[in-house]
Amino acid sequence: MSRNSELQARKVAAVARGQGNMFSNFVDHALNAELWDVDGKRYIDFGAGIAVVNTGHSHPKVVAAVKQQVENFSHTCIMVNPYESGVTLAEKLNALAPGDTPKKTIFVSTGAEAVENAVKIARAHTGRRGIIAFNGGFHGRTNMTMGLTGKITPYKNLFGPFPGEIYHVPFPSDFHEVSVADSMIAIEKLFKVDIAPTDVAAILIEPIQGEGGFIVPPKGFLPALAKYSKENGIVFIADEVQTGFARTGHMFAVEEEGVVPDMVVTAKGIAGGLPLAAVTGRAEVMDSVHASGLGGTYGGNPIACAAALGAMETMEEENLVARARHIGEILGSALRDLAKKYPVIGEVRGRGAMQAIELVEPGTKNPNTAAMNAVVKYCQSQGVLVLTAGTYSNVVRFLPPIVITDELLKDALSVLEEAFASL
């Protein structure tokens, strides 16, 4: 029995079924955009821990920052005995977030916590109750964020009831024949049927849907939504958990169209692999909550803050924003070439180092889950790890570390072509 098989058997026996694993290759070590399993097999990582290690596995700056911080101290709780790295990181996030108004930041540990706290802040600021989210969106696995998530399986099935005063509307997509007008009309109808705009605290949206299948909204939608929110006194929240920190060729995806949210929610790529999340927003909005109303024991822990500062220094020094655009050019071009050859690819979409292909029954838009599974399995067998997504479980998504070399990128794409040739 291989070490991987042995460990998978132990994992099945010891870990609850609900916390499954996509691959049964147990990682021994990793570096940059490559990892090696316990049996010595090497893989090109096109998942980056779900858009977490944007700066690559074990980047020297992140490693050095973590080591130094552990030697100094590991934990005091930022709400008890604070530390300079937390202040410095907040200052950096305030400066990076879109818009030129004064901003403030809070730290928590996960993206779901950050989304939930953004909702709390919006309700405190407006005195309103309702939240508008979007079909296909994913915002986390807590009870509140499951309610906000617009996809049943596997995230919501069996877990209700969910909090009230959450309303979902269609997310625009040219491929799925939902126009910007359709989405805006749905919001207007919502205000006529279910809740008045004066009772809506926030509109929450992923600038590019992640788990929903890397759906990029048509140009003009996000600016229209931001304008609509402002006109109605609604807090506009951008969930940049997956899209943030250079992933899309901008530090934040909303920058593509110059959108300035009231709050930006971040996590994943913020700290090079350590658990950290943040809510950054207009100071007047962020300060709506009374002292001690926000936070958590581990939120903004010093080790994660140190890692984040190392990661951000890397993003700047290695110009990962530009690097993501370069990756997008190579990856997007290769995927579009594949789509011309293989009609099972219904659409190529994404931005920067966040790209996806939706697989369909040739000649239709019917989801092709079997093809998706076959492609993923083939790639894994040949040493390339790719992820899946989509409301209909038919999307292959590509999230390589932004530091990946052109050579590794092209090697992985060669395997992907073989995968489609094998269908």
* 100 lies in the same domain as 217: yes
* 142 lies in the same domain as 243: yes
Distances (CA, A) of 46 to 25, 415, 418: 15, 12, 16
Could you tell me the CATH number of the domain that includes residue 176? 3.40.640.10
Over the stretch 289-312, which tens digit does the pLDDT of each residue have? 999 999 999 999 999 999 999 999
Position 401 scores a pLDDT of 98
Q: What is the DSSP letter of 254?
A: G
- State the chain's mean pLDDT as an integer: 97
Over the stretch 216-245, which tens digit does the pLDDT of each residue have? 999 999 999 999 999 999 999 999 999 999
Structure tokens, 335 = 């995927």
Peptide bond into 223 cis (omega under 30): no
Q: Model confidence at 156, in pLDDT bands (50, 70, 90)?
A: confident
Q: What percent of the chain is modeled with pLDDT above 90? A: 97
Structural domains counted in the chain: 2
Residue 102, CB half-sphere, CA atoms under 13 Å: how many?
A: 5
Whether residue 43 contacts residue 36, with contact meaning beta carbons closer than 8 Å, is answered with yes
* 164 lies in the same domain as 299: yes
* 327 lies in the same domain as 287: no
CA–CA distance, 107 with 330 (Å, rounded to integer): 35
Q: Please choose, from the candidates 214, 257, 205, the residue with its C-alpha nearest in 3D space to the C-alpha of residue 236.
A: 205
* 75 lies in the same domain as 51: no
Over residues 201-215, mean pLDDT: 97
- On the question of pLDDT at 160 being above 90, the answer is no
Strand order in the sheet with 42-45: 27-31, 34-37, 42-45, 384-385
Residue 384, CB half-sphere, CA atoms under 13 Å: how many?
A: 24
- On the question of pLDDT at 269 being above 90, the answer is yes
* 227 lies in the same domain as 294: yes
* 245 lies in the same domain as 295: yes
* 346 lies in the same domain as 396: yes
Over residues 262-267, mean pLDDT: 98
Over residues 385-410, mean pLDDT: 97
CA–CA distance, 25 with 44 (Å, rounded to integer): 13
Could you tell me the CATH number of the domain that includes residue 376? 3.90.1150.10
- On the question of pLDDT at 188 being above 90, the answer is yes
- On the question of pLDDT at 153 being above 90, the answer is no
Over residues 128-142, mean pLDDT: 97
Q: Which domain holds residue 188?
A: 62-317
Position 251 scores a pLDDT of 98
Position 215 scores a pLDDT of 97
Position 1 scores a pLDDT of 83
DSSP string over 317-385: HTTHHHHHHHHHHHHHHHHHHHHHH-TTEEEEEEETTEEEEEEB-TTS--B-HHHHHHHHHHHHHTTEE
* 294 lies in the same domain as 323: no
> Which of 317, 341, 360 delimits the end of a domain?
317
* 200 lies in the same domain as 113: yes
> What sections of 200-319 are H helices per DSSP?
221-231, 283-286, 302-317
> Which of 280, 298, 317 delimits the end of a domain?
317
Position 200 scores a pLDDT of 98
* 338 lies in the same domain as 412: yes
pTM: 0.97
Amino acid at 156: K
* 228 lies in the same domain as 269: yes
> Which of 268, 291, 317 delimits the end of a domain?
317
